[in-house]
Amino acid sequence: MNSLSARLIAGSLLVLTVFVGLTGLAVSYSVYQRAEQAAEDRMEGLVFGILGATEVDASGELLVRMGELPERTLALDSAGLYAEIVGARGKRLWQSRSIIDSVPPVQQTRIGQWQRGLVELKNGERARRMQLQTVWELDNGDELPFIVHVVDARTDDARALTRFTRSLWATLLGAAAVLLALQLGVLRAALGPLRRLGQDIDAMSNGDQAVSENDIPKELSPLVGSINALHARERQRHESYRHLLNDLAHNLKTPLAILGNLNDPRVDTQASSMQRSIDRYLQRAATETTTTLSAPVTLLPVLDRVAESMRKLYAHDGLGFDHRVPADATLRVPEADLYEVIGNLYDNACKYGASKIVTRLEDSKLYIEDNGKGFDSAQPDTLLRRGMREDTRTDGEGIGLASVSQLVSAWGGTVSLGESSSGGACCVLDVGAVLVQRTHPTAPR
């Protein structure tokens, strides 16, 4: 079992099973022993009661006063309890009116010796029997030895013991079920910090803040501290990585520009090749930077800022932007990457004659549609490959859409190109992997 909860539940169930089993056996054994002792004590009292109701007349005959017997059952024609007094030679001197299927023979023993145990009757039932060998001293000095013999075949005690045993096990099983439910509740509460820690780690891996140390048990505090330190170091490492690459590109920009102004074709070719290599590797570094360490970026302000820049850059009349995006929609991506994606798409739309650009977020997909001339190619998705261009008369190197595709792919999404409802271009970005929240769309802007 790979689940910690399952292991703890299985362990608790095993412990409860052993506990209930041992408790039930111990209680049943104790009650059985007490019941046995109580039955023997009752039969001993019955023997003493019969002796107390017995006397010897002047002729030496034994007489039992029936009204003084300790058990009224002995004076009734009922079954289950039987008593008799047997002389030294096996002669029955007295017997109760109660009947029993068969009476086991008495056993001659020493004076004052008790004989007790279980016997089997002719009908197959088991009965408890007890006898006492005693002697009566007569007035003339003679002795009258006899045996008081009692047999109890009643099953009331056995039935009561069976009912008690059933009730005991039912009660123990019910208590075990309640204890198991309580144990599950305690276990759930005890594992709550671990679940919250897992949720915080998932949120952290998606770009949220570090794991909260509030209400964390002291046993987990070192783990939380190590996770937060690792998270901080990883984020700092990625930021430093990108900053170093940007600094490198900036430092090489001026020498490359100087080389390009030498008007030497060979130098120009090599300088352009170096510039393209720098741009390509900067782009690759940007796409390989993990989005899970990025803070969430609200989408709508980015759209508004890029739209404002496009209005200044393409100052022709009628250029409008319609942003149908929820105000609280956020993407867990580097902010610079998001500006680059939106900027490239808006710039392409404006460059190819669009006067209105509509951006909407539906079903975790971002649609950017315009009313420009659209794509002439029957397979516009081929333009997502680096260096592919549809209009060679317009300035460009064919890397804008390719850059967009690489960045969105690094986010875990895809880009597809098509035709808008107005006949222009439509670019669909699948941003479900980095979309944090989307409620109700705002009014068009």
Interatomic CA distance for residues 53 and 158, integer angstroms? 29
- Measured between alpha carbons, how far apart are the two ends of the chain, in Å? 55
Confidence of residue 299 (pLDDT cuts 50, 70, 90): very high
Q: How many CB atoms sit inside 10 A of residue 15's CB?
A: 12
Q: What is the pTM of this model?
A: 0.46
Confidence of residue 206 (pLDDT cuts 50, 70, 90): low
Interatomic CA distance for residues 246 and 248, integer angstroms? 5
**Chain centroid, CA 373 distance in Å:** 56
**Of all residues in the chain, what percent carry a pLDDT higher than 90?**
15
Confidence of residue 361 (pLDDT cuts 50, 70, 90): very high
The residues pairing with 430 across neighbouring beta strands, listed in sequence order, are 365
**Of all residues in the chain, what percent carry a pLDDT higher than 70?**
84
> What amino acid is encoded at 60 in this protein?
G
- Residue 434 clears pLDDT 60, i.e. is over it: yes
Q: Quick one: pLDDT at residue 445? A: 53
- Residue 253 clears pLDDT 60, i.e. is over it: yes
- What's the Rg (C-alpha) of the chain? 50
The secondary structure of the chain in percent helix, strand, coil, rounded to multiples of 5, reads 50, 20, 30
> Which is more confidently placed, 157 or 287?
157
- Residue 10 clears pLDDT 80, i.e. is over it: yes
Across 19-31, average pLDDT:
91
Is-contact 104 129, C-beta < 8 A?
yes
Q: Quick one: pLDDT at residue 381? A: 65
Interatomic CA distance for residues 2 and 20, integer angstroms? 27
Is-contact 432 396, C-beta < 8 A?
no
- Residue 96 clears pLDDT 60, i.e. is over it: yes
Which residues lie below 8 Å from residue 345, measured CB to CB, with a gap of 6+?
Answer: 368, 404, 427
Model pLDDT for residues 382-419, shown as the tens digit of each residue:
777 754 555 544 444 456 788 888 888 888 899 998 88
Of 84, 78, 127, 74, residue with least CA distance to 106: 84
Of 139, 129, 153, residue with least CA distance to 78: 153
